[in-house]
Amino acid sequence: MTGREFLQLDPPHRSLYLERFKRMEVIKKLFNELPKADQNLCNHGSYFLAANSSLCGLAANNFFRNILHVRKAAFVSALPMAVVPFLSTAAAYEVFVRESLFSGELNCEVCAVVRGGLIGAVVGGLYPIFLALPMNASLAARYSSSPLPGKENLLRYWLTTAQPVFRKMSWAVLVQLLTGLYLATKQHGIYIKILQQMNTDRDLEELQA
């Protein structure tokens, strides 16, 4: 929010914004005082989920390449399948879980855990598989590595082709789901620690006043 937009707010909204900004500053200060293990879990935990997403992308890419008999452009197909899922998963988790928690916007434990699980399963597990399908389909068509059907049988063909890949990758999606649940649970617990510390400091201030 710019200074001009802040001045245009109504007094109640301006007061609410200032209170929220002050709360975020206190949370940030208390977060920096936490043990290093808790700080590292919050700052770098999403990268572990994102790294698993890259592995899912590479595995799905390899399965589709084998099914479609694609032997060329191995590096060209592997690079985006490692990078894009990593960035997407890390960004989604940071925005919808971590930042929401430590900005004070997400106080509900169930909501945080559900978000973490969904991001892990959908963005970190299923998305790399869906991303690998069109990429390898285009490579199979380009290099004529596998006979492709006409338009009338196209949907059925790709559903049949994708089924074994989804079956093999179901364990990876489950791992990502559990990882997302675990990270969100641990980070929400750390957020609760900060809130408890804030309440303790407030009580001390009231006693000293």
Query: Model confidence over 25-50: pLDDT tens digits?
Result: 877 888 888 889 989 999 999 999 99
Tell me how far apart the alpha carbons of residues 37 and 34 are, in angstroms, rounded to a whole number.
8
Does position 4 have pLDDT exceeding 80, yes or no?
A: no
> Cα separation of 9 and 16, whole Å?
10
* 49 and 148 co-located in one domain: yes
* Largest interatomic CA distance in the chain: 80
Q: Are residues 19 and 75 in the same domain?
A: no
Domain identity same for 94 and 122: yes
Q: How confident is the model at residue 174 (pLDDT cuts 50, 70, 90)?
A: very high
On whether both 104 and 45 belong to a single domain, the answer is yes
Q: How many other C-beta atoms lie within 10 A of the C-beta of residue 207?
A: 7
Confidence of residue 8 (pLDDT cuts 50, 70, 90): very low
Asked if residue 26 and residue 73 are part of one domain, the reply reads no
Same domain membership, residue 165 and residue 96: yes
Instruction: For residues 75 and 96, state if they share a domain.
Output: yes
Domain count, the chain: 2
Domain that includes residue 12, residue range: 1-33
Same domain, 28 and 61: no
Angle between helices 74-93 and 127-143 (to 10 degrees): 160
In this predicted model, what pLDDT tens digit does every residue of 71-103 receive, in sequence order? 888 888 899 999 999 999 999 999 999 998 888
In this structure, the answer to whether residues 63 and 14 fall within a common structural domain is: no
Residue 156's pLDDT band (cuts 50, 70, 90): confident
| Residue 152 and residue 196 share a domain | yes
Integer CA distances (angstroms), 175 to 17, 23, 118, 207, in order: 39, 35, 12, 48
State the average pLDDT for the chain: 85
175 and 145, same structural domain?
yes
Q: Is 13's pLDDT higher than 60?
A: no
Smallest CA-to-CA distance from 117 within 192, 37, 187 is with 187
Shared domain check, 104 and 6: no
Task: Please check the confidence at residue 58 and state whether its pLDDT lies above 70.
Answer: yes
